[in-house]
Amino acid sequence: MSKKKELETALKEAMLAKDQVSRNTLRLVLSAIKEGEIQKKEELEEADILSILQKQVKTRQESLEEAKKVDRNDLVEEAKMELKVLEKFMPSAMSDEELTKLVTQHIEAVGASTISDMGKVMQGLLAEVAGRADGGKVSQMVREQLQGS
């Protein structure tokens, strides 16, 4: 089942269960997906949907941090509940070992040897790890390996 269908099914279940947090969170995600489809003028691929999910998770994490800073426990709890809903649809995160191995493979595949080749490495790598690893972490690993070579 596609990720979009999974989200739509979960939304229906949340509506039947009268689970407002799940319902509202899933509506926002599906709305973001719909907006992406309108902009692209075609259905989004799984990688694009995972990217949208990852952005939604990141937004909630930032909201959580901000709410903690201003001591708003009600917003902290709401952000935590929304994160739990979203995390159900995220693929399992890659371990550092898996990511390091993948980075090494991509560096070898494109024949990268200097930091100026970083763009070539990142292009294919980000598509492969979409939703499973943070882009900043991937970038840092690529940079470290290229500087170490």
Q: What is the domain range of residue 79?
A: 3-87
d(CA 2, CA 44): 11
Q: What sign does the dihedral 11-16-18-19 (CA atoms) show?
A: negative
Q: Which of 31, 40, 41 is nearest to 8 (CA)?
A: 31
Q: Are residues 80 and 100 in the same domain?
A: no
Q: Residues 22, 64: one domain?
A: yes
What is the Cα 37 distance to its own chain's centre?
Answer: 17
| Residues 75 and 113 placed together within one structural domain of the fold | no
* Total-model pTM: 0.71
Condensed to tens digits (0 to 9), the pLDDT of residues 77-136 reads 999 999 999 999 988 778 888 888 988 888 888 887 888 888 888 888 887 887 777 778
- Shared-domain flag, residues 101 and 127: yes
